[in-house]
Structure 1
């Protein structure tokens, strides 16, 4: 299981997120094969309840998805995401380039202001959403993929831009809830859709999955809350 450091002195949104996720993961126990590292989100789901407007309205660089076109295809995004398969965190739940990039980014300052904590907290925080954000940044698709460390806020950004739905499309950003909930506030994890297998499952590529790695997975659609749709080039 991926480890995510919690500093005792920190009582911020990020620290509460890591604590709550760790408690949940412990409660699920060894049988939670697909939920272990994935369960921890970048910031507590409670943050959305406390700051719903901030979670929904985060403009992410001032650009809404339906206003900014990018010359990047879904295949290009998936190609980069797949090239990262095998990248792993260290024993403290950190050490990835995705966490380092996010902690150094301007977006980190914005999400710290929203959720509390400090940039340094992201260096050992759950990084599934940071991985998705990094892929968007590196491919030039960030205005369409978005960037956030908090899965709930990331999903609500798509929803606020009317780019959220229920159809699995290659390159879509897929949001999961291990409980099967369809509420955006219950999102636990995020990745990219590779394909719809048309048998009740989807193939994905995800960061911070399993034992804290980038990996390709097959997920039941019953765990999907919904999909964010970047407006890729054809």
Structure 2
């Protein structure tokens, strides 16, 4: 979480998508969470995958049994997966900063092309679920 917080305000995402290996701008929310995980040693330890497609991250967490259903209260550090247009496809991923019974606080890369803190209702229909990060 400290690593993600240290990136607040970073705009454009070049640091994250170029780290991932892209030569030009890509949608970078997943690159951001992967970059943060790499800096914390979580990719190397196998606690989380390196991914640039939200759907690939979601599928990894589900396949490893590290998935928490939407509507529940996640732990800080979990990944939150969103489906903005309700089509069943993951559109965005962020990092859970904190959560009480009603409000979810996140740190997101590529939120208006910047790293930002956001809030969401725990019961928001756009939340697909949570990847449980252990490590």
2:79 maps to 173
Q: Secondary structure at the match of 2:34?
A: helix
RMSD value over aligned CA atoms?
1.4
Indicate the structure (1 or 2) with the bigger Cα radius of gyration: 1
Greater percentage in helix: 1
Q: Secondary structure at the match of 1:97?
A: helix
- Following superposition, which runs of at least 4 residues in structure 1 exceed 3 angstroms of deviation? none
2:115 maps to 214
Residues 41-86 of structure 1 show CA distances to partners (whole Å, capped at 9, x for unaligned) of xxxxxxxxxxxxxxxxxxxxxxxxxxxxxxxxxxxxx110011000
User: Structure 2 length as normaliser, TM-score?
Assistant: 0.88
Superposed displacement of residue 180, structure 1: 4.4
Q: Secondary structure at the match of 1:145?
A: coil
Residues 188-227 of structure 1 show CA distances to partners (whole Å, capped at 9, x for unaligned) of 100100111322x3000010002x0001100233121000
Unaligned residue ranges in structure 2 (runs of 5+):
none
User: Which aligned pairs between 1:129-168 and structure 2 lie closer than 5 A?
Assistant: 129-142=30-43, 143-166=46-69, 167=72, 168=74
1:74 maps to none
How many residue pairs get aligned? The number is: 128
Greater percentage in strand: 2
User: Which aligned pairs between 1:1-234 and structure 2 lie closer than 5 A?
Assistant: 78-89=1-12, 96-103=14-21, 119-120=22-23, 123-142=24-43, 143-166=46-69, 167=72, 168-180=74-86, 183=88, 186-199=89-102, 201-210=103-112, 212-221=113-122, 222=124, 223-232=126-135
